[in-house]
């Protein structure tokens, strides 16, 4: 990556509170193009909130967010702060595809139509072109034969792979995963993990909130351990998992570390 190329996502000094509850307390995150960043930590540490702030699904009270070097423009301060340019938010959000824990597929649409929906209705792309791309991504995630099925006819692992195909069909600059395997049993979880590993091997930019330390160790270029809304430790996975510096991370990994 040329040194002059800005990160796909860059967050500096981010603060986020819900009333008196401060969830993020000055957090930094940098996701260069082609890199995978894993966010780990206990429940309530701020992982998912940070991911949602990166995608502008949540509004933060302080700090800078940049997308490919372009700063988000804000109006107001503190509790009243919000993005001042909704068109900018919409444009950036269409380039950051989110994969949620609970799939969020439309039950009244076939799997193929679920994957095609956003490129056709939001991006106004040609339907025939989108269908070719959608079938390509369904094949990539291993469920091309389910294109005409309904979501209720698929297993949880298949539904999550359909959700990943849907995210890919937007051809985003980055993929954001919020606990993509936590709603699945171990066997189905492995189906999704294989897809995520393949995407990482392709050099896709990804931020992954995960409880799966093996996944984080295998695919991440950089791991961030959040604790009580702050970054307790961060670094390459071999350092974070192999040589934790703080007692809090050592305690966390004693219960969750990869085998």
- Quick: pLDDT tens for 45-88: 999 999 999 999 999 999 999 999 999 999 999 999 999 999 99
Residue 257 confidence (pLDDT): 59
Domains of the chain by start residue, with CATH: 1-95+175-259 (3.40.50.300), 105-171 (no CATH)
**Helix ranges (DSSP H) in the chain:** 47-54, 86-93, 111-121, 127-140, 156-169, 186-201, 213-219, 237-242, 247-256
Residue 258 confidence (pLDDT): 55
Span 237-251, average pLDDT: 96
**Global pTM value:** 0.93
Span 201-222, average pLDDT: 95
Residue 184 confidence (pLDDT): 87
Tens of pLDDT, residue by residue over 8-41, are 999 999 999 999 999 999 999 999 999 999 999 9
Q: What is the mean pLDDT of the chain?
A: 94
Torsional sign, CA 131, 98, 37, 217: negative
Span 151-165, average pLDDT: 96
CA–CA separation, 156 and 259 (whole Å):
25
Span 152-176, average pLDDT: 96
pLDDT above 90 (res 259): no
Residue 1 confidence (pLDDT): 47
| 3: confidence class by pLDDT, cuts 50, 70, 90 | low
- Identify the CA nearest to 105 among candidates 174, 54, 175, 156: 156
Span 195-216, average pLDDT: 95
> Across-strand partners of 24?
16
| 103: confidence class by pLDDT, cuts 50, 70, 90 | confident
Residue 214 backbone zone (phi > 0: left; psi -120 to 50: alpha; other: beta): alpha
| 4: confidence class by pLDDT, cuts 50, 70, 90 | confident
Q: How many CB atoms lie within 10 A of CB 78?
A: 9
Q: 114-144: string of b/e by CB count within 10 Å (b at 16+)?
A: bbbbbbbeeeebeeeebbebbbebbebbbbe
Higher-confidence position of 163 and 1:
163
- Identify the CA nearest to 96 among candidates 85, 104, 88: 88
> What does the block give as tokens for 199?
């995407």
């Amino acid at each position: 990556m040329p040194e002059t190329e800005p990160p796909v996502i860059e967050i500096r000094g981010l603060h986020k509170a819900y009333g008196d509850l401060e969830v993020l307390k000055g957090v930094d995150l940098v996701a260069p193009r082609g890199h995978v960043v894993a966010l780990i930590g206990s429940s309530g540490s701020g992982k998912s909130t940070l991911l949602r702030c990166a995608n502008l699904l949540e509004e933060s009270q302080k700090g800078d967010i940049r997308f490919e070097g372009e700063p988000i423009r804000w109006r107001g301060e503190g509790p009243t702060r919000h993005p001042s340019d909704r068109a900018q938010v919409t444009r950036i959000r269409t380039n950051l595809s989110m994969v949620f824990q609970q799939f969020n597929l439309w039950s009244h649409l076939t799997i193929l139509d679920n994957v095609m929906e956003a490129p056709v209705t939001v991006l106004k792309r040609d339907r025939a072109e989108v269908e070719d791309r959608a079938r390509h991504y369904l094949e990539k995630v291993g469920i091309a034969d389910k294109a005409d099925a309904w979501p209720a006819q698929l297993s949880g692992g298949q539904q999550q792979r359909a959700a990943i195909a849907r995210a890919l069909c937007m051809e985003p600059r980055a993929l954001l995963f919020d606990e993509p395997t936590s709603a699945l049993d171990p066997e189905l979880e492995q189906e999704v993990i294989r897809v995520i590993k393949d995407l990482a091997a392709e050099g896709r930019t990804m931020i992954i909130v995960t409880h799966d330390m093996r996944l984080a160790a295998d695919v991440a270029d950089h791991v961030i351990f959040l604790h009580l809304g702050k970054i307790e430790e961060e670094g390459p996975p071999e350092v974070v998992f192999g040589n934790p510096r703080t007692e809090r991370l050592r305690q966390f990994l004693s219960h969750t570390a990869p085998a």
